[in-house]
Amino acid sequence: MLDFDTCNAARLRRDPAFDGVFFIAVKTTGIYCRPVCPVKPPLTRNVGFLPSAAACEAAGYRPCLRCRPETAPFCPAWKGTLSTVERALKLIEDGALDHAPVAALADRLGIGSRHLSRLFATHLGASPRQVARTCRTHRAKRLIDNTALPMADISIRAGFRSLRRFNASFLDLYGRPPSSLRRPAR
């Protein structure tokens, strides 16, 4: 943790390098701010420094309405819609779209399926289904490379609904059937 003098100097300079590193708790107003807050700096004797927005709120401080410290760098709100896309990607990697529609994934994220598709198009340039298909294909490729399982078992473990879709996915991506990618036994 940074010492009081370092934090105070950064606060007085409104140093953006410290934004999200610590928060300023103003004892006289009961409000907490970011080091880059544009308001008139409070007196040094009236401030304390805490490591996170959650720590400030636990100590009884309210967020500043001007600098919005709950949206400081490195928190999900600061990343905006990208954090929703990252959560969706994690769920897709875990198989959320292997046997469920995009609408079910969107419900888990608390948004509509059309909005989820727009976010994917904006941030990734692909639809959730396309991303899920790529994840399944890469999962299957790892199984082909690292196991001796039959192709039918690999397709099921990788999340494909049928062997036909499994084969079609490999033909589209690699231009060859999945069996041709298996390394011969040594």
- How much is the average pLDDT of 104-113? 92
List the catalytic residue out of 7, 56, 64, 135.
Answer: 64
Whether the predicted pLDDT of 40 surpasses 90: yes
pLDDT of residue 105: 94
- Among residues 7, 56, 67, 135, which one is catalytic? 67
Active-site option among 7, 37, 56, 135 = 37
Q: What is the pLDDT of residues 111-163, one digit of tens each?
A: 999 999 999 998 888 999 999 998 898 899 989 988 999 999 999 999 998 99
Catalytic residue selected from 7, 33, 56, 135: 33
* Catalytic annotation present for 64: yes
Q: pLDDT tens for residues 79-92?
A: 667 788 889 999 99
In order, the DSSP letters of 119-174 are HHHHHTSS-HHHHHHHHHHHHHHHHHHH----HHHHHHHHT-S-HHHHHHHHHHHH
Q: Which domains does the chain have, with CATH numbers?
A: 4-76 (3.40.10.10), 80-186 (1.10.10.60)
Which amino acid makes up residue 68? R
> What Rg value do the Cα atoms of the chain yield, rounded?
25
Tell which residue, 159, 79, 88, has the closest CA to residue 117. Answer: 88
User: What is residue 151's predicted lDDT score, i.e. its pLDDT?
Assistant: 92
What residues have CB less than 8 Å from 172, skipping those under 6 apart?
none
Q: What pLDDT band is residue 26 in, cutting at 50, 70 and 90?
A: very high
Specify the pLDDT at position 73.
59
| Whole-number pLDDT of residue 103 | 95
| Residue 56 known to be catalytic | no
Evaluate if pTM is beyond 0.75: no
Residue 118's pLDDT is 94
Query: Degrees (nearest 5) of the Cα angle 27, 31, 33?
Result: 110
pLDDT band, very low/low/confident/very high, at 78 (cuts 50, 70, 90): low
Distance between CA atoms of 131 and 106, rounded to whole angstroms?
14
Catalytic-residue membership of 37: yes
Which pairing describes strands 31-33 and 23-26: parallel, antiparallel, or unpaired?
A: antiparallel
Q: What is the model's pLDDT at position 80?
A: 67
End-to-end CA distance of the chain: 55
Residue 68's pLDDT band, with cuts at 50, 70 and 90, is confident
